[in-house]
Amino acid sequence: MALTVLRNCSKVLKINVQKFTALQHVSTGVRHKTTIQYATRPDLPKLAYRKLNGKSPGVVFLPGFASVMGGQKAEALEEFCKSLGHSYLRFDYSGCGASEGEMGNYNIGAWKKDVLYVLDELVEGPQILVGSSMGGWLMLLAALARPEKTAALVGISTAADHFVTAFNSLPIETKKEIEEQGFWKFPTKHNEEGFYTLSVDFLKEAENHCILQSPIPVSCPVRLIHGLKDSDVPWHVSMQVAERVLSNDVDVIIRKHGQHRMSAKDDIKLMVYTIDDLIDKLTTLG
């Protein structure tokens, strides 16, 4: 049974004095960014990524839906990893950001393949996977597919099964209309249009990757951070993940005033402290 620990948002994870100085100076942007590189893959679009070489365990950041590797959390993590000398990689999914392709041509399965390619070809050794929103869903899928490459998981507003759950909660008549039209205007506050256009094929394919209906055989440490005021993905999704994961080392951290993007200064500090704590734990165990 997964051990779920609720931590008050005002509490700060313990870190040693030497590291505290470095962590204090982690901002929401990177002063000297790594350069964009492109991974060429047979029969697949080029994948854009930024890589920082360093010590193990490395950190890999997985963005959310329609998000890119240039977000505040992704950039702050690069600065943090650089300050401690650990390796770090962030990337854009197929069809997103600087990677090749059109976003509408890809789905959860394709983006899962992107993550597995990163783990198989672009990094060395077990990694701490940090997934934001949909990236939290993908990090769980990656951990199931590549347990030997997964040192720990950190989910930020984890959106496991989210599109499928949201669609299934609609009234029957609404679902019929969407199926007849062939697409769903999924409401969002995160773009000018006020919605994302999701095809019915996208939704059906996503069903193949749902994980919350049965135990999740992941045994590594898992940390799940979620905002109580998240109006996109309810915080109880992180609780469901914690309950399903088989690992005994699972903490759920609830931010009382946290919203979905968790990009406020204190949210980012909490994320960094959480990862720093995991690095200490993994280094000690190693």
Catalytic residues: 133, 230, 260
Helix (H, G, I), strand (E, B) or coil at 5: coil
Q: DSSP per residue over 215-230, as a string? A: -B---S-EEEEEETT-
